Amino acid sequence: MNKELLLDMFYAAPELWYILFAVFVVLLSMLVYSQIRVLKLTQKNYFINRDRERYAETLYASKDGYFAFIYPDEKVNDPQNYVKERCSRRLAVILNLPQGTSSSFNDVLKCFAKDDVLKIQKYLALLREDGVSFDENFSLKNGTKQLHLAGARINATDGNLYCDMIWFRDVSEEVQRISYLEHEKKVAETRFQQLEDIIDNLPYPAWLRDEQQNLVVINKKYLDFTKNVSKSDVIRQQIELLSVGGKSVAKTLAAQAQALNRPQKQDENLIKNGQHCSFEVCESPFHLQGYLDKIWTVGSLIEITELDHLKRDLKLHQNAHLEILGTLGTAFAVFDSHGELSFYNKAFVSLWKQESKWLESAPSYSSFLENIREKRLLPEVPDFRQYKNDELKAFTSILEPKEDLLHLPNGNTIRRVRSPYPMGGLVFAFEDVSDRLATQQAYNALLQVQDEILNNLFDAVIIFGSNGRLKAFNQAYLKLWQSDELFLRKEPSIAEVLDDQQRFFAHVENWQDLKEDILAHLMSASTKSFRLTRSDGIRIDVLSVLLSDDSIMVVCSLVKQSGYVGKEAE
């Protein structure tokens, strides 16, 4: 029935149904469109929120902290018209803020010293009122960190004010590094100045060349020699020191030093103060640090005019001395620094039985040793090779005159003296001392016989030399006067020997008078003997005899009878 009713209504007013159907279609379309738009807005809002989170996380990940003063949107009528403060997580960590990201700017200011707080507040006022940026370093109150604060205003493209931000960066390491580098710079500048002072105060010109032999550095003396105003002009114009002939005294030498990688020297004549003077030019190569293929050189110019004069004078004196040595009876020879014979005299030829022609060929010292060994004029040694090596080492080891004896197989003894030669090498002096040694041996044997004779006498005997010192004594004297043998061997004087005898005259009231009386009798040519009586009762006859060499022999003989203490003269 409902169906029939609807059909009746449709047929009765079909236009109305068409209108209702059209309205329904429109409403349905609007509903679908609204749902689609909502979905698009939701998607857009999702991406906006995600981008905002990304930007926020990007800021949080920054090594710089920030504090933002966020302003309300000027185009929106916001009833909550106030400025919001926001502290970043990084800033809270840098300053170690107890409130974390909820900290206010006053909490931030508490981390700085009072004077810095006032300065930051002034900077902030200029930023918020006029948008003036600032950029400066500040230290925390506890002195543990150095922070770099940078204030900036952020505006939208349409001129709308977003916020004012202060960035905080921990620059402690950078500040320390900068401080360290500044210190190192001052040290380097001081060292550079010291090195420059060193080379500028050298008393001779010095310079530095690169691998192309171009001047790089010169000292003040070099500048004085070239008579220029500044070092930079000399280096820019590559002004060289010129010899008398107008040639560079060092550039060619520098090239040789670089090619051979060894120091090179040569003598040059230059005009100094209007006079010709002699100089030694030296170029020393070295590898530039870090560049093994680049060899630079250091050069110097040292005046040797006076040295040349001294060398000439020395040569003249040496020649004169050698001429004198040539006339002496002692055998002399000079072997130079290369060990070759450079001088000898006639006595040398005669002593070693050499041929002048062979000696004129300047034989080496090694050849000379082999030659005299063949003639049996060299001491017999078990290892001649070792002996010769030791002899050759003397050319570098002897620094002062050294004397020794050479005992030859023929029984002769040669006294040898080796001395350094001023021009290098050694001077040899040879003297046959065989007769002298024989005489010395005979004299020593005579003295030994004399000692044996004295020691076999019953009487005490002492002998004083012409200088008044004790020369000899016998065992009888030691026993009679109970003297110390070590004391007598020190050659005491007559007065000291008498003082040693004083203990045997203890009862003499005035020992000094008795001592002078005994000395007078011993030294007198008229008194031949006198008698002494010691405090122990022993009487001694004393006889003094003047010998042919002006020595005085004193003989003390015991007298068995006793008497008073004192002296009796006969």
Asked: is 63-170 a CATH 3.30.450.20 domain? The reply is yes
- Lowest-confidence range among 212-221, 290-299, 449-458, 473-482? 449-458
Each residue's pLDDT tens digit, 416-443: 999 898 778 888 988 888 777 767 777 7
- Are 202-303 and 450-569 the same fold in CATH? yes
Q: Would you state the CATH architecture of domain 450-569? A: 2-Layer Sandwich (3.30)
Q: Is the pLDDT assigned to residue 567 strictly greater than 50?
A: no
What is the third-level CATH fold of 322-432? Beta-Lactamase (3.30.450)
Residue 75 is predicted with a pLDDT of 57
Q: Is the pLDDT assigned to residue 506 strictly greater than 70?
A: yes
User: Which of 482, 456, 454, 484 lies closest to 554 in space, CA to CA?
Assistant: 454
Mean pLDDT of 525-543: 82
Each residue's pLDDT tens digit, 227-244: 777 888 888 888 887 776
Confidence of residue 124 (pLDDT cuts 50, 70, 90): very high
- Lowest-confidence range among 35-49, 135-149, 515-529, 554-568? 554-568
Asked if 127 and 110 count as a contact pair (C-beta separation under 8 A), the reply is no
Q: Is the pLDDT assigned to residue 322 strictly greater than 60?
A: no
**pLDDT above 90 as % of the chain:** 10
Q: Is the pLDDT assigned to residue 361 strictly greater than 70?
A: yes
Residue 135 is predicted with a pLDDT of 92
> Could you give the strand order of the β-sheet that contains 470-473, starting from the edge strand earlier in sequence?
470-473, 460-464, 552-559, 539-546, 529-533, 566-569
Amino acid identity at 196? E
Asked if 459 and 541 count as a contact pair (C-beta separation under 8 A), the reply is no
Residue 187 is predicted with a pLDDT of 92
Residue count of the chain: 570
**pLDDT above 70 as % of the chain:** 83
Q: Is the pLDDT assigned to residue 33 strictly greater than 50?
A: yes
Task: Tell me the pLDDT of the chain averaged across its residues.
Answer: 81
- Tokens 């078990």 found at: 382
DSSP state of 561: S
DSSP state of 72: P
Report the alpha-carbon distance of residue 53 to residue 63 in Å, rounded.
18
Confidence of residue 106 (pLDDT cuts 50, 70, 90): very high
Residue 195 is predicted with a pLDDT of 86
Q: Is the pLDDT assigned to residue 93 strictly greater than 60?
A: yes
Residue 570 is predicted with a pLDDT of 37
Q: Which two tokens stand for residue 481?
A: 């006067």
Asked if 478 and 470 count as a contact pair (C-beta separation under 8 A), the reply is no
Residue 12 is predicted with a pLDDT of 65
299, with CB counted inside 10 A (0-12, 13-18, 19+), is buried
Give the DSSP letter string of 101-119: GG--HHHHHTTB-HHHHHH
Q: Is the pLDDT assigned to residue 285 strictly greater than 70?
A: yes
326, with CB counted inside 10 A (0-12, 13-18, 19+), is middle
Q: Which two tokens stand for residue 34?
A: 């609204």
Q: Is the pLDDT assigned to residue 565 strictly greater than 50?
A: no
Amino acid identity at 256? Q
CATH code of domain 202-303 = 3.30.450.20
Q: Where are the domains of the chain?
A: 2-53, 63-170, 202-303, 322-432, 450-569
Predicted TM-score (pTM) of the model is: 0.42
Confidence of residue 78 (pLDDT cuts 50, 70, 90): low
Helical H segments across 201-304, by residue range: 220-226, 231-237, 251-260
Mean pLDDT of 496-512: 86
Mean pLDDT of 337-354: 85
